[in-house]
């Protein structure tokens, strides 16, 4: 296959393409800062994202990361600290997909908006950071990539400079972010102190060799602080506080971007670090407790708090924000369910969920973007009877809602039920409790998701509502997302295989 | 079996009316006479075929054929049968053919009468009427020749449906639908036990056939002889239980105490319907069923005794109520209940022949009386209150004399048909009663009832036809046509002479063989193994005793009952056969009100429905809405409340977030630390 | 003479806690930011100390990265604080509470 | 391949109808729905299966394709029919066609969406009755809920929103419980199963069952799972005390939705009970015979008593469905050929009869715009034909001989009375049979008040006869009911053929 001829550094192409696009947009911006040729800018961004997506898919198909014994190319490590394997590619794909979707959607959303190039380049930069996070396998690169993803995000959230909500969101996001990254770095320093390494596999080696025995407490605290960092990125309790405001205040496409791609990126580093650096048994002997316990607790608390808080929201965007916290809780099961002997089933399920989530949640937020574009308002009541005026978009919304609720016949069903299945399959009491929590929360989530469906489909339309146009970009993005959400139900096989294989490889 | 040639037409007996039903329902609107013609032809055809079958049986042939398998399957019955078949089949033996003739004859006559009663009166909805009549006739005939219990039950239910529909024929009134509902519900209550009985018998013996070696009767007999345990009971007890369960249906349909209350209300239906369904045929279905599976009851003295006692009690009970009614149809209704009580009494004491005999006679004279009443109602311009009648004797001689014949038969005055059968019943009851005190009590009640019967019958006759007209309607009655007269005359003759079929007393006195019906039922001419009088008689476990000699006993019995009947008639004569009869209610004193209100039976049942069931239902409903549904809604409201609280931690102040974040982090640290024993 | 690594850890932890205290108590956005920076630097101390202790340079290199990123963070942060002031006429972090619950 | 065609036709039809103009949607949908109806009838005549689908019987129209792999378990598209499922499929297709025709009159708003959803339901219902892989089955099982939720919610009565959400959430939670239990069971079975194909699982269950899971003994696990699944299905059936969603849903649902809800959706529950609990857990069936029989009897009597207290015609029929479903449970727990066979027959029979009842009530409602018994009187005077059918249907409901209801009830009673493994079966049966008196009670009361008596109705318009296309479906149903009542062996033979293996513990 063609991959063989490519130089090794090309393995990072998905991320590099993003970076290149970002730079290109920067250059463009500096040439004509006032330019508002939306089609060009959005086109470039989307194009870049799509190319990156294509390359990532191509690599996956070409067998990059697949163990050589399985006839694959094996994982490539162009630079010390950046590895390209199935896991990396899988999440690069997610990031690319979401980026492409929101780039297309922003075409309409940013209409009549200044400094567009800036916006797009920031998006692409953040995307680059996220792709990097997917590939990073050293705490150094992880931290850098994480910051590379975070810093543009702060700016993006606050990009509506004259919108108090946006600014407030940016502020909160940033402050909590600063705090969290401080904690994260401190955690890194402690881990480094305990093991003397920042490269994940070396850390693992040290721990397994038992050379760090004297620093159990230090390491434990460090690990916990790392968890804090991930929890922040994935908007998990107790580091979730920024999320509701940030998602609510930010421009809807950015909310979609953060809640889907950024969350996924957060998870990939978590997966990477904990599967590579901290082998369960050795670590347990060292710190005296399974770090999975932390994730069990986080998972339960996060999904419960997210769903419960979402149940009685009046602002649709905020409801989605909380639901996104709830879904972080679901995905955390992927880490909570890891066991010494495998657990790739549940981790794979979590990865599937993140991919599907990339479509359905992005789509949902983009519908909000559409609503904001129409200016129909933000609460459930404002959405009443939209289906009468925009049947297609509302049909898509129904798909997203029920898919988020995990009801067939939508892809959300698979991932969520595989998570459920995996959780039960672990067979430990803790995971049984998690599964129980999942049931309770699903029931609750059914309530508020169907509430939105009720608003747009069942309630009578508001009398004084003007005609609603059909912005091409937003519609395109939403419909693509919806179609994918449905189509994935049938075509779930490849994804399930890719995810479980990646998980298995990571755990191996 | 021989004679299938003729018998192969047997199904048509029932199918003709079915066709009539469809025709009348679909095309009735466009037909002359609105479908009556179809009905008349159909019933005539049925009658013809029935007579053919009758002749064939008389020729010594019988017919027992399974026509159609409804379903079949594996079971594990108590007596070890591995498989059971539920079928539709025809059983033509003396009993069923006799009944077929009776039913189809009465049905035909009623159809004809309807021409005068319904068509002439310009009723609306006639197609519906004739269709329902057709459906009824079909179901009734099918019930009669059913060869197994399940089939019997099914058509038993169907006649119930038709009864419901026909009682409610005048559905635009308030009373008719209510009466129809009551009729169906009360009988349904009986059928509930009947159905349990059917299920139980089927599950016990793995068969529901009436006749043949694989009949449940035979199976029960063997079980009793082998002393098998059935569902934890010894065989005879179980037979008694199941028998009584089936009896539930009988009591409902034949309007025996305590499920008799529907019949008087059923008089809301057209009089023709009352004549056909609520006097001659459907009500007979119950008694017929007992006769049909008499072999089974014969196995259980307890069941028989209960049948006899219920019969005797009902006979008296209903008769007393008949005494005080003003509506001519009401009187007839109570007399019907009473008469079926006699039949039950007869069967209960093992007087199989007597019971069937009375069944036949009653079919004719009661149909006659009802049709007569119908004629009177025409005469009276739809006035049914006897106190508004009077003096019709001369104005409508045909009606009068036929009615009189019926009355004499009903009262049991020699030599009219009623006398012979009723006397035979009482005789059988007496001879058994001399050994069995319970039966003696039943006999006593039956005997007393004779007096009342005579009384209310002639009270009715006198009030209706004698004396001076008591209303202008009675002054110039509406004339009646041939369609009315022909059936009356036919039935009148029958009511008079049909008693000749079984002159048991005469036969005993002169010791000549003229008890034809007995021979008939005993299979002298042809019968199916096991379904004959003497076999029943052998199975029936009752001793029989005599006062000095059989003949003396018979004469005493006959004399007493005849005397009482005449006494009743005479009392009525003295009280009511005067130009200006008065109600004489004071003579009865307090009893009068009790009787007028039917011993508060209806009140009691209404109380059961509205005083007991309804409150329970409402309570259940309240419980359902509050407790059960409340729990469901409670869960959701609780979680929503929780949600509204949970989201409060998002205070919007970033400093709090930082604090909470750190707190949460420390909490996590503590948990893990405690687990890991870091400190 | 060398100081045992434990003391460095204690120092950094103290610094970290000071920063944390600042984060929790300061309502002025800038002070909040500074406190966060303090925490970062606490981490740096750790890194350098441990690098010295373990005798490899990874930690020190990483510390450099951290500083660079801290600088970037401050840059973005100041930008946000600027627009915050523009919109709310204040840099008190507890003022913007338009979105809650 | 036939089953796929049926489902495909319904699905494509649904899409076509969605986009069709409202004007023609009804007729179009009816025309489309005729295809599955005719095809399924042909399949019925061409049915060549034998034995039970789960217990290595020979399936009719079987087809199986690997879908995706979940850990070591494979999930496949696996459909096929046996003597139990084909009558239910025919019931579905016929009832849907008739329901569509019966909704021409009442549905006058957003027709295309309405009929599209109905066809969508049909597709999923066919799937439920033909799917033989657990996940596939579960997808169809759940996918039925969404369209029904919308049918009730959009076209329903005044309290439709409450009823719809209640129905949706309640039944979904039940499904989740059942799902979890079943997954636990599958994992408990360990290596003896390698897929979610129901036959495989059933075989494994009959050959020893699970060897313990979640720290539970094998037998304990089996019992727990049995109970959990029973509860899960009990909501759907519904049996007391999980029935409260039913009256609300029925009362609020538009007539055609009620027809499908009572006619087919309730049967899903009993069908699932038969397929899972009563096929895979013979041991537990014996253990829990008494409590289940008690539940059945309570459902019969209590449901009937509730019906007795209602004044809304639809509520009456709804509660009477609870009562009738109680009979089905009784027949199942009897565990004899006649009991289980009769129960299955009763599913079909009650499907037709309750459909007929709801149609008749609907027709009267169309004319009177009230369903309250107290509001009307003497309707027979104005709409003789419709009322005639209503009366016929009512008597069918009361189990009038020569109508299918009687056969169903009689066989159930007969099968239950002699049931060997059900203690006190005679008592239970006799108690349950009292239902036939109460049902007569409330139906006759209702008839007496509404259709008989002098004509009274507060309307400002003239109530006329029902249009032909309202009456035709009812005639068809009546014909079917009588046909099945006279010749039950049309389906009873194939049913018992499929039931026998269950009772013989797998052997034919």
Could you read off the pLDDT of A196-246 as tens digits, one per residue? 899 999 999 999 888 877 788 888 899 999 999 999 999 998 999 999 999
Confidence at residue A4, expressed as pLDDT on a 0 to 100 scale? 54
SS3 for D81? strand
Whether B564 and B610 map to the same domain: the answer is no
Tens digit of each residue's pLDDT (9 = 90 or more) over B33-50: 778 888 899 999 999 999
Question: What was the pLDDT predicted at A289?
Answer: 86
pLDDT at A409: 84
Backbone torsions φ then ψ of B71, nearest 5 degrees: -160, 170
The alpha-carbon gap from B633 to the nearest alpha carbon of chain C, in Å, equals: 25
Same-domain pairing of B635 and B570: no
Across the interface, whether the CB atoms of D169 and A497 are under 8 A apart is answered: no
**Considering the domain boundaries, does residue B125 fall inside one?**
no
Distance between CA D344 and CA B75 in Å, rounded? 17
Worst-scoring range by mean pLDDT, B62-76, C76-90, D393-407? Answer: B62-76
User: If you write DSSP's letter for every residue of D157-204 in order, what string do you get?
Assistant: -TTHHHHHHHHHHHHHHHHHHHHHHHHHHHHHHGGG-SB-BHHHHHHH
Q: Could you tell me which chain B residue has the CA closest to the CA of D398?
A: B188
Choice among A169-178, A345-354, B541-550, C36-45 with the minimum mean pLDDT: B541-550
**B221 in a structural domain:** yes
pLDDT digits (tens, 9 = 90+) for B361-419: 999 989 999 998 888 888 888 888 888 887 888 888 888 899 899 999 988 888 888 88
Pick from B653, B657, B660, B664 the residue to mutate for testing the C interface (most C CBs within 10 Å). B653
CB contact, 8 Å: B659 with chain C? yes
Q: Chains with ≥3 Cβ pairs under 8 A against A?
A: B, C, D
Q: Is residue B254 part of a domain?
A: yes
As a whole-number percent, the residues of chain B with pLDDT over 70 amount to: 99
Domain span at C66: 5-88
Q: Which domain-ending residue is among B588, B616, B633?
A: B588
Q: Which residue in D378, D434, D488 is closest to B192 by CB distance?
A: D434
Contact B73 D418 (CB under 8 A): no
> Is D103 within a domain?
no
CB A379 within 8 A of CB A296: no
CA distance A48 to A16: 10
Over 80: is that where the pLDDT of B279 sits? Answer: yes
Q: Is D180 in contact with A439 (Cβ distance < 8 A)?
A: yes
Nearest residue on chain B to C26, judged by CA atoms?
Answer: B655
Does any domain span residue C93?
Answer: no
Looking at A8-22, B76-90, D244-258, which range is the least confident one?
B76-90
Is the same domain home to B221 and B191?
Answer: yes
Quick check: is D77 in a domain? no
Whether B506 and B539 share a structural domain = yes
CA-nearest residue of chain A to D181? A424
Tens-place pLDDT, residues D21-52: 988 999 999 999 999 999 999 999 999 888 88
Of C25, C96, C101, the CB nearest to B650: C101
**Touch test A–C: 3 Cβ pairs or more under 8 Å:** yes
Mean pLDDT for C8-15 is: 91
Q: What is the pLDDT of residue A3?
A: 47
Q: In what helix (H) or strand (E) does residue C40 lie, and over which residues does it extend?
A: helix C29-54
Number of domains in chain B: 2
For residue B1, pLDDT over 50 is answered with: no
Could you report the per-residue pLDDT of B319-347, keeping only the tens digit for each? 888 888 888 888 889 999 999 999 999 99
Based on the structure, what is the number of domains in chain D? 1
pLDDT of residue B62: 84
Task: Give the Cα separation of A34 and B590 in Å (integer).
Answer: 112
Per the CB < 8 A criterion, the answer to whether B284 and B357 are in contact is no
- Residue C31 within any structural domain of the chain: yes
Q: Does B645 touch chain C (CB under 8 A)?
A: no
- The average pLDDT across D283-302 equals 92
pLDDT at B3: 46
Cβ–Cβ under 8 Å, residues A294 and B672: yes
A288/B643 Cβ within 8 A: no
The answer to whether B245 and B153 have CB atoms below 8 angstroms apart is no
pLDDT at D30: 94
Same domain, B580 and B608: no
| pLDDT on residue B4 | 58
For A329-373, write each residue's pLDDT tens digit: 999 999 998 887 778 889 999 999 999 999 999 999 999 999 999
Average pLDDT estimate for B612-622: 89
Q: What is the pLDDT of residue B593?
A: 81
Query: Which chain A residues are closer than 8 Å to D164 by Cβ?
Result: 450, 454, 458
Determine contact: C36 vs chain B, CB below 8 A.
Answer: no
Question: Do residues B185 and B308 both lie within one domain?
Answer: yes
Q: Is C93 on the interface with B (CB under 8 A)?
A: yes
For B509-536, give the DSSP string: HHT-S-BHHHHHHTTSS---TT-SHHHH
Q: What percent of chain D has pLDDT over 70?
A: 99
Q: Do B660 and A447 touch (CB under 8 A)?
A: no
Residue C31, exposed/middle/buried by CB under 10 A (0-12, 13-18, 19+)? Answer: middle
Does the residue C96 lie in any domain?
no
* Residue C72 within any structural domain of the chain: yes
D44: in domain: no
Residue of B319, B239, B252, B317 lying closest to B285 (CA atoms): B252
The lowest-confidence range among A171-175, B584-588, D148-152, D215-219 is B584-588
Q: Mean of the pLDDT values across residues D209-234? A: 87
Same domain, B354 and B285: yes
Taking contacts as CB-CB distances below 8 angstroms, the residues of chain A near B635 are: none
For β-strands B83-92 and B229-230, DSSP reports them as: unpaired
Tell me, yes or no, whether B417 and B474 share the same domain. Answer: yes
Please indicate, yes or no, if residue C98 is contained in any of the structural domains: no
Question: Is A182's pLDDT higher than 80?
Answer: yes
Q: What percent of chain D has pLDDT over 90?
A: 58
Task: Determine whether the interchain pair D402/B184 forms a contact, defined as Cβ–Cβ distance below 8 Å.
Answer: no
10 Å Cβ neighbour count for A256? 31
Whether C82 is covered by a domain: the verdict is yes
B161 and B245: one domain?
A: yes
Instruction: Check B665 against A289: CB less than 8 A apart.
Output: no
- The verdict on residue D248 lying in a domain is no
Q: Kindly determine whether residue B669 and residue A293, on different chains, have CB atoms separated by under 8 Å.
A: no
Crossing angle of the two packed helices A472-490 and A391-405, in degrees rounded to 10: 40
- In terms of pLDDT, which residue wins out, B613 or D464? B613
Task: Select from B562, B588, B614 the last residue of a domain.
Answer: B588
- Under a CB-based contact definition with an 8 Å cutoff, are residues D49 and D196 in contact? no
CA distance A219 to A182: 17
Residue A1: band (very low, low, confident or very high) from pLDDT cuts 50, 70, 90 = very low
Q: Which domain holds residue D316?
A: 288-508
- Please list the alpha-helical segments (H only) found in A85-213: 86-109, 116-135, 139-157, 164-195, 200-209
Tell me how far apart the alpha carbons of residues B169 and B126 are, in angstroms, rounded to a whole number. Answer: 10
Is there a cis peptide before residue D241, judged by omega within 30 degrees of 0?
A: yes
Chain D stretch 105-144, residues whose beta carbon is closer than 8 A to a beta carbon of chain A: 124, 135, 138-140, 142-143
Q: Are residues B509 and B608 in the same domain?
A: no
- Report if residue B381 sits inside a domain: yes
pLDDT digits (tens, 9 = 90+) for B444-485: 999 899 999 988 898 888 888 888 888 887 787 888 888 888
Are A444 and B639 in contact (CB < 8 Å)? yes
Q: Are residues B526 and B649 in the same domain?
A: no
Establish if C101 belongs to a structural domain: no
Task: Work out the percent of chain A whose per-residue pLDDT is above 90.
Answer: 58
Q: How far apart are CA D79 and CA D405, in angstroms?
A: 29
Question: What are the pLDDT digits (tens) for A414-425?
Answer: 899 889 988 888
Supply the CATH number for residue C32's domain.
Answer: 1.10.287.3510
Last residue of a domain, one of B530, B556, B588: B588
Residues B607 and B584 in one domain: no
pLDDT in tens, A251-283: 999 999 999 999 999 999 999 999 999 988 888
- Write the pLDDT tens digit of every residue in A110-131: 887 777 888 999 999 999 999 9
CA dist B386 and B388 (Å) reads: 5
- The average pLDDT across B246-262 equals 90
Least confidently predicted of B9-13, B600-604, D326-330: B600-604
- Between CA A195 and CA A204 the distance in angstroms is 9
For residue D458, being part of any structural domain is answered with yes
Average pLDDT, chain D: 90
Q: Which residue of B has its CA nearest to D496?
A: B73
* Mean pLDDT of the region A3-13: 77
* D119 inside domain: no
Q: How confident is the model at residue B605 (pLDDT cuts 50, 70, 90)?
A: confident
SS3 content of chain B, % helix, strand, coil (to 5): 75, 5, 20
On whether residue B184 sits in a domain, the answer given is: yes
Q: Which of D139, D156, D177 to mutate to test the interface with A (most CBs of A within 10 A)?
A: D139
Residue B397 in domain = yes
The residue segments making up the domain with residue B492 are: 64-89+146-588
Q: Do chains D and C touch (3 or more CB pairs under 8 A)?
A: no
Domain annotation covers residue D362: yes
Average pLDDT along chain A: 90
Residue B301: how many CB atoms within 10 A of its CB? 17
What confidence score (pLDDT) does residue D506 get? 61
Q: Is residue D415 included in any domain, yes or no? A: yes
pLDDT-derived band of residue B579, with 50, 70 and 90 as boundaries?
confident
Give CA–CA dist A199/A184, Å, rounded: 16
Q: Is the pLDDT of residue B521 over 80?
A: yes
Position B26 in a domain: no
Supply the pLDDT for residue A127.
Answer: 95
């Amino acid at each position: 296959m063609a991959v063989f001829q490519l130089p090794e550094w090309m393995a990072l192409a998905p991320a590099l393409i993003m970076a290149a696009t970002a730079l290109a947009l920067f250059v463009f911006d500096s040439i004509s800062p006032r330019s508002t040729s939306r089609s060009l800018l959005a086109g470039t961004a989307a194009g870049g994202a799509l190319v990156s997506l294509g390359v990532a898919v191509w690599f996956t198909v070409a067998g990059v990361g697949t163990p050589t014994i399985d006839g694959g190319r094996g994982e490539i490590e162009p630079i010390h600290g950046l590895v390209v394997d199935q896991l990396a590619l899988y999440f690069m794909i997610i990031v690319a997909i979401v980026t492409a979707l929101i780039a297309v959607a922003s075409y309409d959303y940013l209409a009549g908006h200044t400094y567009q190039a800036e916006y797009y380049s920031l998006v692409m930069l953040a995307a680059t950071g996220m792709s990097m996070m997917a590939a990073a396998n050293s705490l150094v690169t992880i931290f850098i990539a994480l910051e590379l993803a975070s810093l543009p995000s702060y700016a993006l959230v606050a990009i509506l400079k004259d919108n108090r909500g946006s600014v407030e969101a940016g502020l909160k996001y940033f402050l909590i972010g600063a705090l969290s990254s401080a904690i994260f770095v401190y955690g890194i320093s402690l881990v480094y102190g305990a093991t003397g390494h920042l490269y994940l596999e070396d850390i693992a080696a040290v721990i397994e060799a038992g050379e760090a025995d004297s620093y159990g407490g230090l390491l434990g605290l460090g690990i916990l602080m790392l968890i804090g960092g991930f929890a922040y990125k994935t908007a998990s309790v107790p580091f979730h506080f920024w999320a509701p405001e940030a998602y609510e205040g930010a421009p809807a496409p950015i909310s979609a971007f953060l809640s889907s791609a950024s969350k996924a990126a957060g998870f990939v580093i978590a997966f990477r670090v904990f599967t590579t650096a901290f082998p369960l048994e050795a670590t347990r002997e060292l710190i005296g407790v399974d770090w999975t316990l932390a994730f069990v607790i986080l998972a339960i608390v996060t999904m419960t708090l997210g769903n419960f808080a979402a149940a009685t929201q009046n602002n649709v965007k905020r409801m989605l924000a909380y639901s996104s916290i709830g879904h972080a809780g679901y995905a955390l099961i992927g880490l909570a369910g890891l066991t010494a002997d495998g657990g790739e089933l549940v981790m794979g399920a979590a990865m599937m969920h993140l991919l599907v989530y990339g479509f359905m949640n992005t789509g949902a937020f983009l519908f909000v973007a559409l609503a904001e574009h129409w200016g129909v308002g933000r609460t459930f009541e404002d959405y009443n009877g939209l289906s009468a005026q925009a049947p297609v978009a509302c049909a898509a919304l129904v798909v997203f809602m029920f898919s988020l609720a995990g009801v067939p016949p939508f892809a959300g069903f698979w991932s969520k039920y595989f998570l459920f299945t995996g959780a039960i399959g672990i067979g430990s009491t803790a995971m049984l409790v998690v599964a129980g929590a999942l049931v309770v929360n699903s029931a609750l989530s059914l309530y508020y998701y169907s509430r939105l469906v009720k608003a747009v489909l069942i309630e009578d339309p508001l009398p004084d509502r003007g005609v609603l146009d059909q912005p091409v970009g937003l519609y395109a993005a939403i419909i693509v997302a919806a179609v994918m959400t449905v189509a994935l139900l049938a075509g779930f096989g490849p994804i399930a295989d890719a995810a479980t294989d990646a998980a298995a490889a990571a755990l191996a | 079996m021989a004679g299938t040639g003729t018998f192969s037409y047997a199904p048509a007996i029932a199918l003709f009316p079915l066709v009539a039903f469809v025709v009348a329902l679909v095309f009735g609107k466009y037909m002359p006479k609105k479908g009556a013609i179809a009905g008349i032809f159909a019933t005539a055809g049925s009658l013809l075929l029935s007579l053919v079958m009758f002749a064939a049986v008389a020729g010594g042939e019988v017919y027992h054929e399974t026509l159609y398998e409804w379903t079949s399957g594996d079971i594990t019955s108590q007596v070890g049968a591995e498989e059971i078949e539920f079928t539709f089949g025809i059983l033509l033996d003396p009993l069923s053919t006799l009944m077929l003739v009776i039913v189809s004859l009465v049905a035909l006559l009623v159809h004809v009468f309807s021409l005068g009663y319904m068509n002439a009166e310009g009723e609306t909805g006639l197609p519906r009427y004739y269709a329902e009549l057709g459906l009824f006739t079909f179901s009734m005939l099918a019930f009669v020749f059913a060869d197994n219990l399940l089939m019997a039950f099914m058509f038993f239910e169907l006649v119930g449906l038709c009864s419901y529909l026909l009682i409610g024929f005048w559905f635009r009134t308030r009373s008719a639908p209510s009466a129809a509902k009551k009729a169906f519900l009360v009988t349904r209550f009986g059928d509930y036990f009947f159905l349990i009985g059917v299920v139980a018998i089927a599950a016990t013996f793995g068969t529901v056939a009436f006749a043949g070696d694989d009949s449940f009767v035979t199976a029960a007999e063997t079980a009793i002889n082998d002393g098998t345990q059935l569902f934890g009971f010894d065989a005879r007890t179980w037979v008694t239980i199941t028998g009584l369960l089936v009896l539930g249906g009988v009591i409902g349909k034949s309007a025996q105490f305590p499920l008799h209350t529907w019949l008087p209300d059923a008089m809301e239906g057209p009089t023709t319907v009352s004549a056909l369904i609520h006097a001659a045929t459907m009500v007979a279905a119950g008694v017929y069923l007992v006769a049909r599976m008499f072999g089974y009851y014969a196995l259980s003295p307890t069941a028989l005794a209960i049948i006899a006692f219920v019969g005797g009690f009902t006979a008296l009970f209903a008769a007393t109520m008949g005494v005080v009614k003003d509506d001519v149809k009401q009187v007839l209704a109570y007399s019907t209940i009473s008469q079926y009580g006699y039949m039950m009494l007869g069967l209960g004491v093992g007087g199989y022949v007597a019971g069937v005999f009375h069944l036949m006679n009653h079919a004719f004279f009661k149909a006659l009386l009802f049709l007569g009443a119908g004629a009177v109602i025409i005469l009276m311009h739809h006035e049914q209150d006897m106190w508004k009648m009077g003096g019709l004797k001369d104005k409508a001689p045909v009606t009068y004399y036929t009615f009189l014949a019926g009355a004499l038969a009903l009262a049991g005055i020699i030599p009219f048909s009623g006398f012979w059968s009723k006397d035979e019943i009482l005789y059988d009851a007496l001879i058994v009663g001399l050994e069995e005190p319970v039966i003696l009590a039943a006999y006593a009640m039956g005997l007393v009832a004779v007096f009342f019967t005579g009384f209310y019958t002639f009270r009715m006759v006198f009030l209706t036809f004698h004396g001076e007209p008591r209303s202008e309607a009675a002054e110039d009655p509406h004339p009646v046509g041939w369609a009315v007269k022909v059936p009356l005359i036919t039935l009148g003759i029958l009511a008079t002479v049909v008693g000749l079929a079984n002159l048991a007393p005469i036969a005993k006195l002169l010791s000549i063989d003229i008890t034809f019906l007995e021979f008939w039922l005993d299979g002298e001419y042809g019968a199916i193994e096991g379904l004959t009088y003497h076999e029943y008689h052998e199975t029936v476990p009752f001793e029989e005793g005599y006062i000095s000699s059989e003949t003396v006993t018979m004469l005493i019995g006959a004399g007493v009952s005849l005397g009482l009947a005449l006494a009743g008639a005479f009392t009525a004569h003295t009280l009511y056969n005067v130009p200006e009869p008065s109600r004489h209610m004071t003579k009865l004193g307090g009893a009068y009100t009790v009787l007028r209100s039917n011993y508060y039976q209806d009140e009691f049942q209404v109380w059961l429905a509205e005083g007991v069931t309804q409150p329970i239902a409402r309570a259940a409903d309240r419980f359902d809405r509050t407790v059960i549904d409340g729990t469901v809604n409670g869960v959701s409201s609780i979680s929503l409340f929780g949600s509204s609280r949970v989201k409060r931690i998002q205070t919007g102040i970033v400093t709090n977030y930082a604090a909470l974040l750190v707190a949460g982090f420390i909490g996590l640290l503590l948990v893990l630390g405690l687990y890991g024993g870091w400190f | 003479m060398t100081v045992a690594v434990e003391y460095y850890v204690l120092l950094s932890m103290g610094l970290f806690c000071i920063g944390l205290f600042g984060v929790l108590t300061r309502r002025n956005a800038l002070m909040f930011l500074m406190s966060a920076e303090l925490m970062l630097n606490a981490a740096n101390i750790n890194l350098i100390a441990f690098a010295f202790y373990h005798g490899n340079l990874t930690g020190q290199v990483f510390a450099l990265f951290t500083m660079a990123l801290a600088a970037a963070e401050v840059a973005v942060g100041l930008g946000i604080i600027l627009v915050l002031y523009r919109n709310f006429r204040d840099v008190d972090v507890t003022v913007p509470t338009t979105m809650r619950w | 391949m036939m089953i796929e065609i049926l489902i495909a036709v319904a699905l494509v039809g649904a899409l076509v109808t969605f986009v069709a103009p409202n004007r023609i949607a009804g007729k179009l949908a009816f025309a489309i729905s005729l295809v599955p109806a005719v095809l399924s009838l042909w399949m019925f005549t061409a049915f060549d299966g034998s034995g039970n689908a789960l217990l290595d019987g020979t399936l009719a129209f079987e087809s199986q394709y690997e879908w995706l792999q979940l850990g070591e378990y494979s999930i496949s598209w696996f459909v096929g029919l046996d003597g139990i499922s084909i009558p239910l499929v025919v019931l579905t297709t016929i009832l849907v066609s008739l329901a569509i025709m019966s909704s021409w009159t009442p549905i006058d708003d957003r027709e295309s969406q309405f009929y599209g959803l109905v066809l969508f339901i049909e597709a999923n219902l066919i799937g439920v009755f033909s799917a033989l892989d657990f996940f596939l089955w579960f997808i169809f099982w759940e996918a039925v809920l969404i369209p029904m939720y919308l049918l009730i919610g959009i076209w329903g009565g005044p309290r439709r929103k409450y009823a719809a959400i209640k129905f949706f959430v309640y039944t979904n939670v039940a499904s989740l419980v059942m799902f979890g239990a079943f997954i636990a069971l599958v994992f408990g079975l360990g290596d003896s199963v390698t897929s979610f194909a129901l036959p495989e699982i059933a075989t494994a269950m009959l050959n020893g069952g699970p060897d313990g899971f979640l720290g539970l003994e094998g037998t304990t696990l089996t019992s727990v799972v049995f109970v959990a699944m029973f509860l899960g299905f009990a909501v759907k059936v519904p049996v007391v005390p999980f029935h409260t969603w039913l009256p609300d849903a029925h009362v609020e649902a538009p007539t055609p939705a009620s027809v499908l809800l009572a006619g087919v959706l309730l049967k899903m529950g009993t069908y699932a009970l038969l397929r899972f609990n009563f096929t895979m857990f013979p041991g537990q069936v014996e253990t829990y015979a008494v409590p289940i029989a008690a539940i059945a009897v309570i459902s019969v009597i209590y449901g009937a008593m509730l019906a007795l207290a209602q004044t809304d015609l639809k509520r009456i029929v709804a509660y009477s469905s609870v009562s009738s479903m109680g009979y089905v449970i009784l027949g199942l727990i009897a565990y004899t050929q006649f009991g289980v066979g009769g129960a299955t027959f009763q599913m079909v029979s009650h499907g037709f009869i309750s459909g007929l009842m709801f149609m008749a009530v609907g027709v009267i409602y169309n004319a009177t715009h009230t369903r309250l018994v107290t509001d009307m009187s003497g309707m027979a005077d104005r709409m003789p034909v419709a009322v005639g059918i209503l009366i016929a249907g009512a008597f069918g409901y009361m189990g009038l001989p020569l109508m299918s209801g009687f056969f169903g009830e009689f066989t159930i009673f007969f099968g239950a009375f002699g049931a060997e493994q059900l203690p006190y079966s005679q008592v239970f049966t006799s108690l349950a049979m009292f239902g036939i008196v109460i049902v007569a009670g409330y139906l006759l009361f209702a008839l007496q008040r509404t259709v008989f008596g002098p004509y009274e109705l507060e309307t400002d318009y003239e109530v006329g006869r029902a249009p032909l296309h309202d009456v035709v479906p009812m005639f068809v149903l009546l014909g079917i009911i009588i046909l099945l009542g006279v010749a039950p062996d049309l389906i009873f033979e194939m049913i018992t053929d499929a039931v026998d293996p269950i009772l013989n513990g797998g052997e034919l």
